[in-house]
Amino acid sequence: MLERGNGRPALGCVRPSYRDISLYAPDTSPVEVALADNTNAWGMPPAAARALADAAAAAACSSYPSPYGEALTDALAAHLRVPVEAIVTGCGSDDVLDGAIRAFGGPGARIAFPDPTFSMVSVLARVNGLEPVPVPLRADLDADAEALLATGAEIVYLCSPNNPTGTLVSPATLEGVVARAKGLVIVDEAYIEFGGTTLAGQAPSLGNVLVARTLSKAFGLAGLRVGYGVGAPALIGEVAKARGPYKVNALAERAAVAAVTAGLPWVEEHARHAIELRERLADALRALGLAPLPSAANFVLVPVAAEPGAVEIARRMRESSVAVRPFAALPVIGDALRISVGPWPLLERALASLESALASAPVPDEDA
């Protein structure tokens, strides 16, 4: 018989930095209007759906997939016109970011990033023993190159278009950071299909830049978990070591190949449509008296008053079956709601829900 160890001996050895990390727990209760996570509200490219059905029918699951997603790497290299050695795939781009952070900054190293930005960066830093160093966005919402460089961090992370603001990192800021950073510069282009200028073509010859991309947003494959990184072959090799083999599963790889080849026209057409609707959404928000930030992504961030606050407004909207993502007290911006772009009838419902949430009675004062 095994004896119970009370869990204590093992837990005493957990990394101290894990104490403050909680499991990711988004509200997943079903809603009729889901605009909280910036995925493709129109679904996936039909070519990817067909590839998935064919792969399932061929029972491709009893063998291991290719170790590093070779067929997908080939397809991505053709799509981006870069050498295959310049690409590493992953189980979502989170996996690529995780591998890069592990490979280029060991425990005790630091990663600097604009604040606010993608919330997973700080988590991935702490999971890998790095110290997250948030650097507030400038008042004009550009990343602060001087302050980021002044940290002397081993890794600088930039996200353009940035999540959750939707704003771009200016070319001057990007150039300054790439030219003067001490170590790795990660440029997260999760929303590049909706705006901004990609660095993917240049990254292979820059040497210190990893461009991270995902198939979870414009490409409509969030549930399959596929992402990739682009950079100099030597740098990519190190990320691949940290990432390890077999991270892109066999079904995901087939669907992803279809999405970046035959599915590409569908993806581009829906990205164009999302851009149009983003501007229409921003106009409608302004008509409600709000001041949405200029967005180059498939979402709009709209600041709201601290009373009743973004969390309370999102809660009220959820009661009418509309999910948006609230942010409380963001640096520079304050409280804000991030609303993903989707088909116009969904956006109309979200706008109506927001209007009545803003109009409802203020939160009752606890002391009253």
Q: Which stretch binds ligand PLP (CB under 6 A): 52-60, 131-139, 215-223, 283-291?
A: 215-223
Interaction of residue 214 with ligand PLP, rule CB under 6 A: yes
How far, in Å, CA of 72 to CA of 345, rounded? 35
Contacts made by residues 11-18, CB under 8 angstroms, sequence distance 24+: 15/129, 17/126, 17/127, 17/129, 18/126, 18/127
Comparing CB distances to ligand PLP, the nearer of 160 and 208 is 160
Q: Which residues contact 18 (CB under 8 A, 6 or more apart)?
A: 126, 127
Comparing CB distances to ligand PLP, the nearer of 31 and 123 is 123
Q: Which residues contact 77 (CB under 8 A, 6 or more apart)?
A: 83, 84, 86, 87
DSSP 3-state of 270: helix
DSSP 3-state of 300: strand
DSSP 3-state of 175: helix
Residue 318 CB, shortest distance to ligand PLP, in Å, is 21
Residue 70 burial (10 A CB sphere; 0-12, 13-18, 19+): middle
Comparing CB distances to ligand PLP, the nearer of 127 and 358 is 127
Find the binding residues for ligand PLP in span 28-57 (CB under 6 A).
38
Interaction of residue 93 with ligand PLP, rule CB under 6 A: yes
Interaction of residue 173 with ligand PLP, rule CB under 6 A: no
Residue 4 CB, shortest distance to ligand PLP, in Å, is 37
Interaction of residue 92 with ligand PLP, rule CB under 6 A: yes
Burial letters 156-183, b for 16+ CB under 10 A, else e:
bbbbbbbbbbbbbbbeebbebbbeebee
Q: Which stretch binds ligand PLP (CB under 6 A): 14-22, 86-94, 123-131, 275-283?
A: 86-94
Token pair for residue 135?
Answer: 């650097």
Residue 301 CB, shortest distance to ligand PLP, in Å, is 12
Interaction of residue 118 with ligand PLP, rule CB under 6 A: yes
For ligand PLP, which residue has the nearest CB?
A: 92
Tell which residue, 286, 285, 302, 298, has the closest CA to residue 342. 298
Tell which residue, 141, 158, 163, has the closest CA to residue 38. 163
Interaction of residue 94 with ligand PLP, rule CB under 6 A: yes
In the list 163, 173, 295, 353, the residue contacting ligand PLP (rule: CB under 6 A) is 163
How far, in Å, CA of 348 to CA of 284, rounded? 9
Find the binding residues for ligand PLP in span 221-250 (CB under 6 A).
222, 227
Comparing CB distances to ligand PLP, the nearer of 38 and 353 is 38
Comparing CB distances to ligand PLP, the nearer of 212 and 304 is 212
Interaction of residue 274 with ligand PLP, rule CB under 6 A: no
Q: Which stretch binds ligand PLP (CB under 6 A): 92-100, 174-182, 198-206, 283-291?
A: 92-100
Q: Which stretch binds ligand PLP (CB under 6 A): 78-86, 138-146, 212-220, 337-345?
A: 212-220
- The beta-strand segments (E) located in the chain are 33-34, 87-90, 110-115, 131-136, 155-159, 184-188, 209-214, 227-230, 299-303, 322-323, 325-330, 334-340
Residue 43 CB, shortest distance to ligand PLP, in Å, is 16
What does the binding site for ligand PLP look like in residue numbers (CB under 6 A)?
38, 92-94, 118, 159, 163, 188, 190, 214, 216-217, 222, 227
